[in-house]
Structure 1
Amino acid sequence: MCCKCTSSRTFRVLPFGSMRVGLRFVALTCRVSERVSLPTCQTVIYGLLALIVLGDTSRLQADIVWEDHYSDEDVIVNGSSFTTSTGADVTFNTSVYSDSDGGTFDLSLTRSNSDYFTFEAGQTGAHTGYLELAMDNQNNDPADYLELTLTFDRAITNLQFSLLDVDSGSWDDGVELFYNGSNNARDSSSISVTTGSVNGIDNESYMHGWEGFGSGAASNSTDGNIDFDFGTLHVTSLRIRFLSTDDANSNPGGQFIGLSDMTFTNAVPEVASSWLMAVFGIVALCGRWVSKHVWLAVPTSLFDHNQRLFLTISPRAEPERTTRSSNSRTSRSAGEAATAPVAA
């Protein structure tokens, strides 16, 4: 069965996630195959190839800009979530640990906040619009701390952000950062960490992170910021622990840190390799037919300025065949017979 259509068809597909869009693409190719009489084998191959190629559409960069999701003084509600620009969902969990050493409840609210975890529209660490972790520890007790956990519904990579205003005064800010469960960010050589001029690696035995050293940072200064770049490391969760170290005064007073906006990209789905194997299997079964009838043309520039994928599929034209009719062969045979020498 040959293809009767030789024109190219270009499809624009919005990147809503490789599997969902890929299945829509399969449905689209099925409709196209019905219109141009393409065999089922070709339709299946187009659909599977679409799933693989569309897997890369999810590698789009996302920016989490907190002011796009919160207003000033909004509480970061435990268990709340939202969807990022790449389709990745992020869920927030908040925890307050106090008197974990067997003492009294030592933490109270500060900065006129209605909760320990809020969004602030103002500036700190020279960054405007940030998530704030704030507390007033009544005693110099590092066993009292706040934890903010961000959980992503898929692996992300190239994660970058800053912890803002990690400094000291009558207080001493201490932070620990964990990813993918209990992995400490200080232990990974894949994570790039840049500290500010008023903070650095802690010298405590009870923590493994960073703390303020000696002075405070102005709200319009980056001196108290700690910048993190996770590079190619795949991240599914991030947990920030904020405490007052025992270098503070006996009653440290109010203190806070901020979490800046974040950037990341969705990691390539690991299932892509299995889809590729499936395509190879079908190509092997239908190889002779595919080599005769199917072209798959992917342009050099896969995306337009709106990040839409262009995929061009061109059925191969059936080559012309030259045949001779039986009448022609009969006439030629007759002519050859007429010129043959006559036996004496």
Structure 2
Amino acid sequence: MPDSNDLLVIGECVADIVRLPGAAEQVHPGGSPANVAYGLARLGHGVTLLTQLGPDAYGRQIRAHLAGAGVEVRTDGATAPTPCAAVSLDGAGRAAYTFEITWALGAVALERPPRHVHTGSVAAVMEPGATGVVAAVDSLRAAATVSYDPNVRPELMGDHEAAVRRVESCVALSDVVKASDEDLEWLYPGQAPERVAERWLATGPALVLVTRGGDGALAVLPDGRVPVGAPPVDIVDTVGAGDAFMSGTLHALDAHGLLGADGRERLRSVDRATVTDVLRHAAASAAVTVARAGANPPDAAELASALGGTGR
């Protein structure tokens, strides 16, 4: 059995209520950090998710969904309703969200520190919970590598300048950062995503990844950029695509021995061939997800198949 203390994800769960014209609404378990935890567990990793879930039908559905993949769910015992989001899809399967969410995660004790911590999205910017999340990550990073995905939701970010400062403080705490070109456009309007990624890299991370939808993705390293194309795929919807990219990234980094305090220095000197392999895994994970409904990332066998049988 995987060790559930191996990887720790801190962040929100959200019930995604998908509404399509002429069809009954469907409820999918979601929330960016929860999706990453689920994706990692599907790939065989031991994962603990620190989150909030209400004592309601959505909360029970999400808890069962996560547990079914092997995620250990830890909450602070709060009884606020489970966050939800109305998800509408356009003709190309692109998702737009309207949220009903509060985030006030309290302290949750851990028996021992994890090797890696991931956070992002609403959890790292929405108060009153965000301050505690960032403090928890900061306290754990001596023993663990850290990854971060801002997963910008403009309607939940609050004041723009304050949100940018919060995001930049999380970037500086992290070893690996992933952001979409849409995230970066909201944070820094009119600025080239590659230039923003280079600036972020200079503040602390070893690796900054930029996803570009159908145009693939880009890794920014101290010695340059590494691009990867998006695998051809018939898109059903894009729900959870960025989260699957993140879980695929962490899966591949771990396979290369680049997670954990003992992997941090190797991560800082990672070569371009290794980064290319990581990006291939991440892009393939996202491609499997967009080819089916909801945030439904691949398991290890599906990822290997998407990579042509070469997956780890």
Which category of TM-score, normalised to the shorter sequence, fits these structures?
under 0.3
**What TM-score comes out, normalization by structure 2 length?**
0.24
**What TM-score comes out, normalization by structure 1 length?**
0.22
Higher-RCO chain (CA-CA 8 Å, sequence separation at least 6): 1
Q: Which has more radius of gyration?
A: 1
